[in-house]
Amino acid sequence: MRKSPHKTAAPAQSPAPAEVGVSNYEVSVQQLNELLSDGNGYYSLPTKHFHEVFPRIYVGNAFVAQNSMRLRRLGVTHILNAAEGNSFMHVNTSAEFYAGTGIIYHGMKANDTEHFDLSAFFEEGADFIDKALAYKDGKGKVYVHCREGYSRSPTLVIAYLMLRHKMDVRTALSLVRQKREIGPNDGFLRQLCQLNERLGREGKLKTK
């Protein structure tokens, strides 16, 4: 599968002159796309409904999100819906949907378009994932999903790894990609690049 936004990937930025270390945090959308694709601009669709991409963090699609019995068998305690809404490209669940299951729900009304500012949800998503993992003395499990588990939800998990585990964007994206086939749109990748630069400037990323 070829991801059409790949053709409009932003060119690599020029390194910042003089400032020590700043250029190390400048990553282009094109560089991230190269990590996601097979080198020829082709991307793989997810081979399973969900994958555990980090201990107790699952990224998946709507099919599993709407199957309470399966979620309980997995031991999921928290749901983060990155595509809340009732259109075809959204998943129409809510706290009421999981009533009686014991699952704690949080929804975000995000669109999978290049112009949507998903970065506005990065901190909110990271906070919810943190709370989920700390649940019941660190035994919580969180299922982060959108419609396909391909763009919105993996972007939020990558941002979480950057914000809470001090991973740079390449490391965080590669870690998730090793576990699941993903393809965030170029707008989301650009927002992750911007987050990487900000965290790098603030000294909040692990130095290699």
Within-domain flag for 14: no
Report the pLDDT value the prediction gives residue 208, as an integer from 0 to 100.
Answer: 62
Q: Which of 146, 156, 193, 205 is catalytic?
A: 146
- Predicted confidence (pLDDT) per residue in 33-80, tens digit: 999 998 788 999 999 999 999 999 999 999 999 999 999 999 999 999
Range of the domain at 153: 25-201
Instruction: Check: CB of residue 142 under 8 Å from CB of residue 134.
Output: no
pTM, to two decimals: 0.89
Within-domain flag for 20: no
CATH of the domain at 33: 3.90.190.10
Within-domain flag for 19: no
Within-domain flag for 10: no
Within-domain flag for 3: no
Within-domain flag for 166: yes
Query: Does 15 have pLDDT greater than 60?
Result: no
Within-domain flag for 8: no
193 classed as catalytic:
no
* Measured distance CA(170)–CA(21) in Å, rounded: 16
Report the pLDDT value the prediction gives residue 175, as an integer from 0 to 100.
Answer: 98
Domain total of the chain: 1
The amino acid at 206: K
- Predicted confidence (pLDDT) per residue in 163-202, tens digit: 999 999 999 999 999 999 999 999 999 999 999 999 999 9
The amino acid at 184: P
Q: How far is CA 139 from CA 70, 81, 170, in A?
A: 18, 20, 28
Within-domain flag for 6: no
Q: Which of 173, 102, 188 has its CA nearest to residue 139?
A: 102
